A and B are shown apart, each in its own frame.
Chain A
């Protein structure tokens, strides 16, 4: 096979003048430098279903408009989530499977089994505990010092929330975050640099052993409210342990789903309010805007850049001929800035935006985020508690972002907190 030509480095290109057919929005460093906007603006206008034959990923289509993304979501019989939902093909040595990467009917039945864990009645039970843990973290912040919001608040908080969800041994909770980062941060999955492939494989093996042990502990104990106990005791899922790869895949899905996304929303909100101080004023005057602000944070941040589908049969997509096997990437990050749908300047952060919930960050259709209410609750509670304590969380230095073509995330956000 002939070696394919490496694409141009997008960071060195001017999005206004680069020939259309050279645009490659799958480069992880684009997002590390928040340099994607111009390329997507151009694509939405000039080539909304954009073809690129990638030396590593193969034939890919970038879908950049809101409504076109919704169309792909809807037509899941043609645009499949199997074998996976990343642009990169699944690494051959990861045996875990979960319903995010299955089509119906397996998707539907597995999701139905796990869904009760995030049922609203369960969330109500969790809220008080989460609020209390948020309070402890915020009360411990060093007033008058510069610190990294990502480590001290966002990661700390999401890790505790995950531990709560699984009733995971609290002193070992950092393992959850590590396993999540290990799964999404390796070069072969997301173009990331968090971890090497060997380290990743070791981490996943450890994660597997750990959760199998927890299952047996919970199965032999009385039923509890945590996720593993619910799976081990519910009639529908009680035998899941006999398919360990399915069990672990679904556990890992919940860890990852609830980790990066919420973490980066918690950081993104601080950044957004600092970039739009008028909105911060609005919030201080009217705390009842918090739920609406939560949706706007999730839109503005778009914690998952995009999800990929693989085409099951030759088809046409708004005039473009898509071939069987082609990858179709739904770039939520672009659709969420589509001026035809998000009215009133989509690039602005507006906490009382009209139709604020109408965004793509949770996806649409049968794979729409299962944890959306949990995520919203966590971010809402965090802001309710922040506003009780601080007049301002002030950003005092540049943010550092992570390279990835899946997750739009931060590594550092230097801040100081100013008490009321």
Chain B
């Protein structure tokens, strides 16, 4: 596997350091060739920077890509927005030589050059396509058999598809696959592909942000999802922080929110404490409790089965 730089993005490092923790732990567990590199900035956030200055948007994203281009490594991010923004600009520039030349002219001032050679991956499709089912299933020690979860892809994991090219933009499957490989059931639901709505919080429309979060959380309660699985810090903020605020106001909703790296970490045998899951606002205790009951019910054979069930396991 090619070496890759991790693009943490602003939100995870500023607000959710425990998500960085669980991501690092799973990278380590799979012995993936990841690196921390100097020189990244905000991706930049599209709704903010692009609205104010589209040129600054393009140059900032191109500059970030040029950092990995220059090092000859790929890029992986646990944030959907970051990858989507970087990939959108990369695709634009690769198709507009004039614009690319203009951007590179500017980048020369800071000794950088955008070539667009580096692959840009979001962590979920990366685990699906680059790590793959066999290696994942060989590594996991505990499965989520008996657990029913709802998956929230997050718009920018898969869209815009002309730039990301990683799954069906309207009917994606890869996140579902991963969850099933870990043994959990992925519940179908009406709001599965709905935008989380966190963007509204960034334009001072908090009530509307809550309104969109509520649409999904009410449905999740109804279908009795054990957890909502996300892999985007914006979606996480929307469903964890904002759900916490709504519960505090007495709203009858409750679904723990689990980051994909945490779910994977748990399956690898890491503890919730190691993974930093105490950092969540909405209590994950009931999810963990039910999971433990399922594991106890299944007995140890389940674990061994998954380990033996992969080609080459007995070789």
A associates with B: no
**Which residues of B are in contact with A by a Cβ distance under 8 Å?**
none
